[in-house]
């Protein structure tokens, strides 16, 4: 009888393949590596002279890495490992952005380097009206749903988020979906962020709150940008004020 | 202190007030099998109009969720749990309520894979407002089955043998593919061309007319459409089908279709060569060559260029379709081309009983005919969304055809005692050229104020018909009892006909919103119709050539009708009801010039077109609608002034200059109630029509059987009909019942030999059909039909009555046998009661059977062996009740033949 019991138990254990995420606890703490890609050729497609120059000196995609660490109440987005292949192309912004968000209070601090100046902006987490599309895909092993939105009046954003990671954050200041955003695309701006790896952390990580820079408000930032970025493209302006 | 208290009370009141505007939604999630509460997942509340996430929440540990204080809206609720099928529900909430969804049973994906749960769990049918959506994968069809096979499986959808589709009791006029037209004039080209596995969803809904879409109101002219949503991976690539079939008695069918889809671009070509009447003849083209303009009487050739099921057809046709959308779908183009060569030969005999106040008489006619048409047709539409406030649409269709028809008639008229009164024979052969071109342009502009709109339409229609005809007729008149004619009339003429009509119309509509839910509409339109008709008749001269002009049977008319029309309307739409009312007033100015006799007739009539439509939503899918329509109908010139025709020497039509326009009133009440549970649908329709000053004849019959018809206005014409439709899926048995009862009473009035005659037509029609399918084993259908028509002629003097009943019983069965074999059998048993006028009963058993073998993995290749009309029992038969007559038609049809076919379906997706 006992023999039978154990055999059954063993058989049962062997024969039940652990169905992924069936009993997986939704993730509370962890770290995500994002790869951001900017399609330079597309970006300069309307300007044939610059395009030639860009093509000569660059690969099609400008790739940068960012890390997002999170626990159940906080997220921190900061530059990740260096990409040695990158030619330091002046016109790329938001390369050194650090975004710290407190999910419960809705406060977020953003440290930006624009041209030579470093700014520190305190704001509330961006309120985005997301549209659920019904489309699904997997990113870094997680089932994601697609949502679309228009932010800052005219920027079209596509986000893929997973319900299996509880904190409601994402790269840069993208948030406001029931779960973690693992992919963002701004098709008209030719920029994408996609998670490559999601690591589970046992202990809450240390959040280094950005402190550097000149403290300014959002509206003042726009003024500064208007002043400082005269002659830069509209794309550059939009991207700096993200 | 007092003031603080007042403020406090005010605040309380205010808080209460604002709270009353809010909606709460709650529910609990369960596993559909284990009944365990589920606690991990997200519930979304979306705005139905644009899928914006209004709120979301995580499910609590006890499996419940709750949304509080949401502004009323039209919502979609989605429950998303990993490893469970997504649950979706829609509700439209307009007032403060708490919606308790109770237990929501989630179906596990693991269980779904084991197929058992499919029936119990997934909602294979989703009803949302007026749209019913079927998930194609939930209905089993054999591999490589066509869309038609899939449609047959859908509850509420029926497909008859000809491929005609009925959905929710209404005929489906248009099949769309991904919302776009694809071979729009023949639905079977889509349903028998696309394979079922390309389709992800089938949607059935009412397509609004351009006008009602633009105005946002229901103008009652909506048509039922089926939209096939393709699977994402089938949207690009090519596919097609080739069919070759040879049969005994030289019957053959050949078909090839080839389609290429890439994104929004759809290309298709097909070719058919067939003489079985089964392919390529299901055209729903509405423009035929016989239009209802004022100019038709006098045409010798009454064939509309289509196959009506009578006679033996030979068809050769080639068609092509192109459609595309570009510039972010702001511009779209559709082009269709069709070449057609159709010949029909047949014999058609009829037996008619005319009911007169004091007597009756009979005519017997035998007709043999041979019709040919060769036509080229092109049609298209271009649409452009100019900006967010305006759009234009241009449509056109043109056809050039050559038509040839030969008729040979033998006609015998008999008295009530079946004594010979006259006998006539006539042959008519015509050769004609037809051209038509129709086009339209419409422009819609939304003005700066919200919902203020301007619509402008122009349309043009041109038809021309030039033909040459030979008419030879011989009529002998007899006295009762005598076998020798006392008079013989011979006509031997050549006729040349020229008819042309040009219609030009334009309409301007302005919509002004008067409140949030209501608007007023003004419109002005002007239509002008100009047509000319020349008939020249020539008799034989002494040398045997047709050169002698016969002015009596020739005519040269020019006809014009100018119709300015002014209209005003008011419409209000609330949550539970909508009301549309309006009236159009027009003045018709009719002019006819007779060039042969230099005379002119001018008439003008004031026309009224009032309408009211009121619809009330009792519950989500329960609605009652009331409609009233009034219409002025003007007499045609032929009804005012006598034409001079000798096409039918035994029937003479006389005009009446004293005719006034008739006015028809129609009242319609429709109650519909649908329930998702067991797919239950109930529709009740009650229609009452009455016509003031209807056009009828004063019939005078002379003793030789010649009839003179003089147009008169009559009163007392009315009709009343009731119809009940009921559909139901018997729980657990998977048997689907469709039940339809119609009862009609119609009263017609005519005058016979100056005595008023009321003809009352009563008919009852009953259809019951059952269907059941056991996946991979068999499909079974059974239809029982009963039709009973009683016609009674009532005058002050006498009463006569004819009754005719038809019973039919049609079982259809398909067996899916192992080794990819399929056996199909369908049978129609039709029994007709014999009656006084028609001695012969006409019982028919029509049995078709075929056997099919599929080979290859996806059954790409099929061989079929079949017999059509196994018992060689088919017979063309038709019974018609007219104003004062009953006609029984018999005509030749295709009978028994055996055939062997090869069908190859090919597809390649990128």
Asked whether the predicted pLDDT for residue A15 surpasses 50, the reply is: no
Secondary structure percentages of chain A, helix, strand, coil, to 5:
20, 40, 40
> How far does B236 lie from chain A, in Å, by closest CA?
19
A165 SS3 class = strand
List of residues 6+ apart from B654 with CB closer than 8 A: B642, B708, B709, B710, B711
- Predicted pLDDT of residue B898: 93
Report pTM.
Answer: 0.64
| Interface contact B53-A129, CB threshold 8 A | yes
Q: How far is CA B881 from CA B356, B431, B717, B837, in A?
A: 14, 32, 16, 13
> How far does A20 lie from chain B, in Å, by closest CA?
9
Pairing between strand B98-106 and B694-701? Answer: unpaired
Which residues of chain A neighbour B112 with C-beta distances below 8 Å?
none
- The tens digit of pLDDT for each residue in A61-119 reads 888 889 999 988 889 998 888 766 655 555 466 677 889 988 888 888 888 877 677 88
For chain A positions 179-198, those within 8 Å of chain B (CB to CB) are: 179
**Quick count: other Cβ atoms within 10 Å of Cβ B17?**
9
Q: Which of B42, B46, B51 sits opposite A178 (nearest CB)?
A: B42
Which residues of chain A neighbour B52 with C-beta distances below 8 Å?
129-131
The C-alpha angle B145, B146, B147, rounded to 5 degrees, equals 130
**Quick count: other Cβ atoms within 10 Å of Cβ A54?**
20
DSSP string, B625-689: EEEEEEEEEPPPHHHHS-----SSTTEEEE--TT---EEEEEEEEEEEEEETGGGEEEEEEEEEE
Secondary structure percentages of chain B, helix, strand, coil, to 5:
5, 65, 30
ipTM score over 0.85, yes or no: no
> In chain B, which residues have pLDDT < 70?
1-21, 94-96, 109-124, 127-129, 184, 210-221, 281-301, 356-358, 449-450, 620, 641-650, 676-677, 703-705, 793-800, 834-841, 881-884, 910
Q: How far is CA B702 from CA B422, B477, B479, B753, in A?
A: 11, 11, 12, 9
Sign of the dihedral through C-alpha A212, A216, A220, A222: positive
DSSP string, B592-639: EEETTTTEEEEEEEEEEEEEEEEEEEEETTEEEEEEEEEEEEPPPHHH
Q: Count Cβ–Cβ pairs < 8 Å, chain A vs chain B.
A: 39
B417 SS3 class = coil
- Predicted pLDDT of residue B703: 65
> How far does A130 lie from chain B, in Å, by closest CA?
6
B840-844 long-range contacts, CB within 8 A, separation 24+: B842/B875, B842/B877, B842/B890, B844/B873, B844/B874, B844/B875, B844/B877
Laid out side by side, the sheet with B23-31 consists of B64-70, B23-31, B98-106
B797-804 long-range contacts, CB within 8 A, separation 24+: B797/B357, B797/B358, B797/B755, B798/B357, B798/B358, B800/B355, B800/B360, B802/B353, B802/B355, B802/B835, B802/B836, B802/B837, B802/B886, B803/B833, B803/B835, B804/B832, B804/B833, B804/B835, B804/B838, B804/B879, B804/B886
Q: How far apart are CA B344 and CA B310, in angstroms?
A: 8
- Predicted pLDDT of residue B759: 80
Q: What is the rounded average pLDDT of the residues A31-41?
A: 87
- Predicted pLDDT of residue B17: 41
Q: How far apart are CA B17 and CA B840, in angstroms?
A: 78
Q: How far apart are CA A141 and CA A182, in angstroms?
A: 10
Is A139 in contact with A131 (CB distance < 8 Å)? no
- Predicted pLDDT of residue A7: 53
Which residues of chain B neighbour A26 with C-beta distances below 8 Å?
40
Residue B414: Cβ-neighbour burial (10 angstroms; 0-12, 13-18, 19+): middle
| Interface contact B41-A163, CB threshold 8 A | yes
Is B382 in contact with B335 (CB distance < 8 Å)? no
Pick the closest to residue B90 from B106, B110, B105, B75 (CA basis).
B75
Residue A15: Cβ-neighbour burial (10 angstroms; 0-12, 13-18, 19+): exposed
Is B212 in contact with B218 (CB distance < 8 Å)? yes
> How far does B464 lie from chain A, in Å, by closest CA?
52
| Interface contact A145-B110, CB threshold 8 A | no
- Predicted pLDDT of residue B122: 47
**Probe site for chain B from A178, A179, A181, A188 (most B CB atoms < 10 A):** A178
Q: How far apart are CA B476 and CA B650, in angstroms?
A: 11
| Interface contact A133-B51, CB threshold 8 A | yes
Q: How far apart are CA B682 and CA B664, in angstroms?
A: 29
Give me the residue label for tokens 């005219």: A154
B70 SS3 class = strand
Q: How far apart are CA B469 and CA B247, in angstroms?
A: 37
Q: How far apart are CA B259 and CA B255, in angstroms?
A: 13
Q: How far apart are CA B66 and CA B58, in angstroms?
A: 9
Spell out which chain B residues touch chain A, with contact meaning CB-CB distance below 8 angstroms. 40-42, 44, 46, 50-53, 56-58, 78, 80, 82-83, 110
| Interface contact A130-B44, CB threshold 8 A | no
Sign of the dihedral through C-alpha B107, B113, B117, B121: positive
**Closest chain B residue to the Cα of A165, Cα to Cα:** B41
């Amino acid at each position: 009888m006992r023999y039978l019991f154990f055999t059954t138990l063993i058989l049962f254990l062997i024969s039940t393949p652990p169905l992924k995420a069936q009993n997986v606890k939704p993730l509370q703490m962890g770290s995500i590596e994002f790869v951001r890609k900017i399609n330079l050729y597309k970006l300069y497609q309307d300007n044939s002279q610059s395009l030639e120059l860009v093509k000569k000196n660059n690969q099609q995609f400008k790739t940068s890495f960012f890390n997002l660490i999170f626990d159940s109440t906080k997220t921190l987005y900061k530059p990740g490992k260096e990409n040695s292949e990158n030619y330091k192309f002046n016109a790329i912004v938001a390369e050194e952005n650090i975004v710290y968000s407190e999910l419960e209070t809705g406060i977020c601090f953003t440290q930006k380097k624009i041209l030579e100046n470093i700014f520190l902006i305190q704001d509330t987490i961006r309120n985005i009206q997301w549209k659920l599309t019904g489309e699904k895909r997997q990113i870094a092993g997680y089932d994601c749903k697609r949502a679309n939105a228009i932010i800052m009046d005219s920027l079209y954003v596509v986000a893929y988020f997973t319900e299996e990671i509880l904190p409601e954050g994402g790269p840069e200041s993208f948030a406001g979906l029931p779960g973690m955003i693992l992919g963002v695309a701004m098709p008209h701006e030719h920029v994408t962020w996609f998670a490559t790896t999601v690591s589970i952390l046992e202990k809450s990580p240390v959040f280094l709150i950005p402190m550097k820079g000149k403290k300014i408000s959002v509206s003042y930032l726009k003024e500064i940008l208007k002043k400082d970025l005269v002659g830069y493209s509209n794309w550059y302006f939009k991207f700096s004020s993200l | 202190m007092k003031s603080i208290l007042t403020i406090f009370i005010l605040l309380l009141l205010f808080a209460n007030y604002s709270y009353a505007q809010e909606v709460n939604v709650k529910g609990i999630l369960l596993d559909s099998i284990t009944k365990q509460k589920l606690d991990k997942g997200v519930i979304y509340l979306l705005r139905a109009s644009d899928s914006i996430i209004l709120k979301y929440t995580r499910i609590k540990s006890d499996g419940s969720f709750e949304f509080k204080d949401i502004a009323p809206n039209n919502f979609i609720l989605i429950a998303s749990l990993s490893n469970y099928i997504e649950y979706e529900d829609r509700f439209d909430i307009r007032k403060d309520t708490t919606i308790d969804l109770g237990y929501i049973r989630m179906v596990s994906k693991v269980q779904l894979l084991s197929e058992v749960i499919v029936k119990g769990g997934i909602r294979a049918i989703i009803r949302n407002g007026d749209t019913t959506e079927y998930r194609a994968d939930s209905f089993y069809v054999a591999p490589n089955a066509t869309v038609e096979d899939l449609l047959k499986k859908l509850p509420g959808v029926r497909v008859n043998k000809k491929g005609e589709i009925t959905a929710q009791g209404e005929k489906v006029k248009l099949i769309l593919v991904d919302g776009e037209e694809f071979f729009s004039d023949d639905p079977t080209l889509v349903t028998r061309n696309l394979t079922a596995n390309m389709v992800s969803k089938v949607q059935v809904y009412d397509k609004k007319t351009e006008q009602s879409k633009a105005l946002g109101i229901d103008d009652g002219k909506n048509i039922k459409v089926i939209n096939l949503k393709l699977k994402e991976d089938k949207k690009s690539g090519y596919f097609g089908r080739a069919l070759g079939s040879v049969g005994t008695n030289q019957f053959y069918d050949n078909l090839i279709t080839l389609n290429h889809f890439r994104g929004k671009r759809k290309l298709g070509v097909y070719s058919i060569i067939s003489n079985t009447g089964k392919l390529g003849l299901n055209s729903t083209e509405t423009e035929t060559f016989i239009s209802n303009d004022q100019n038709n009487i006098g045409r010798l050739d009454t064939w509309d260029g289509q196959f009506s099921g009578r006679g033996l057809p030979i068809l050769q046709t080639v068609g092509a379709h192109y459609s595309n959308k570009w510039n972010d779908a702001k511009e779209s183009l559709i082009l269709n081309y069709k070449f057609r060569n159709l010949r029909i030969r047949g014999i058609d005999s009829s037996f008619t009983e005319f009911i007169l106040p004091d007597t009756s008489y009979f005519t017997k006619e035998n007709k043999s005919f041979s019709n040919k048409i060769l036509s080229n047709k092109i049609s298209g539409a271009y649409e452009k969304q100019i900006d967010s406030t305006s759009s234009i649409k241009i449509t056109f269709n043109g056809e050039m055809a050559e038509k040839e028809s030969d008729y040979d008639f033998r006609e015998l008229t008999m008295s009530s005692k079946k004594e010979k009164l006259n006998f006539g024979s006539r042959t008519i052969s015509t050769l004609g050229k037809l051209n038509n071109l129709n086009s339209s342009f419409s422009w819609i502009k939304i003005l700066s104020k919200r919902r203020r709109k301007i619509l402008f339409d122009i349309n043009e229609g041109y038809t021309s018909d030039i033909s040459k005809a030979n008419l030879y007729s011989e009529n002998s008149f007899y006295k009762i009892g005598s076998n020798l004619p006392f008079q013989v009339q011979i006509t031997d003429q050549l006729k040349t006909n020229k008819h042309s009509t040009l219609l030009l119309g334009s309409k301007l509509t302005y919509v002004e919103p008067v409140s949030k839910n209501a608007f007023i509409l003004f419109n002005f339109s002007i239509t002008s119709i100009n047509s000319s008709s020349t008939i020249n008749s020539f008799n034989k001269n002494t040398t045997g050539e047709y050169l002698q002009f016969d002015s009596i049977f020739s005519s040269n008319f020019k006809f014009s009708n100018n119709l300015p029309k002014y209209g005003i309307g008011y419409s209000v739409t609330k949550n539970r009801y909508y009301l549309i009312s309006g009236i159009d007033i027009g003045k018709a100015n009719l002019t006819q010039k007779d060039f042969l006799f230099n005379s002119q007739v001018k008439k003008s009539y004031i026309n009224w077109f009032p309408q009211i439509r009121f619809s009330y939503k009792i519950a989500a899918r329960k609605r009652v609608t009331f409609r009233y329509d009034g219409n002025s109908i003007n007499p045609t010139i032929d009804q005012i002034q006598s034409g001079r025709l000798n096409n039918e020497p035994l029937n003479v039509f006389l005009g009446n200059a004293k005719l006034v326009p008739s006015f028809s009133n129609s009242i319609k009440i429709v109650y519909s109630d649908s329930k998702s549970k067991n797919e239950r649908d109930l529709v009740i329709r009650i229609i009452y029509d009455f016509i003031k000053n209807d056009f009828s004849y004063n019939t005078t019959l002379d003793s030789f059987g010649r009839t003179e018809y003089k147009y008169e206005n009559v009163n007392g014409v009315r009709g009343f009909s009731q119809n009940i439709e009921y559909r139901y899926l018997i729980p657990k048995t998977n048997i689907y019942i469709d039940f339809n009862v119609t009862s009609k009473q119609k009263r017609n009035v005519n005058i016979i030999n100056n005595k008023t005659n009321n003809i009352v037509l009563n008919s009852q029609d009953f259809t019951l059909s059952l269907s059941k399918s056991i996946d991979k084993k068999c499909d079974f259908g059974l239809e029982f039909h009963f039709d009973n028509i009683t016609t009674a002629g009532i005058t002050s003097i006498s009463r006569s009555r004819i009754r005719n009943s038809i019973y039919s019983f049609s079982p259809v069965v398909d067996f899916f046998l192992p080794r990819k074999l399929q056996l199909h059998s369908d049978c129609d048993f039709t029994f007709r009661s014999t009656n006084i006028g028609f001695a012969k009963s006409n019982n028919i058993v029509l049995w078709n059977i075929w056997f099919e073998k599929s080979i290859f993995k996806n059954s790409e290749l099929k061989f079929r062996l079949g017999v059509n009309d196994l018992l060689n029992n088919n017979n063309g038969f038709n019974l018609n009740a007219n104003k004062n007559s009953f006609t029984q038609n018999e005509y030749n049809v295709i009978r028994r033949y055996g055939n062997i076919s090869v069908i190859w379906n090919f597809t390649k997706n990128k």
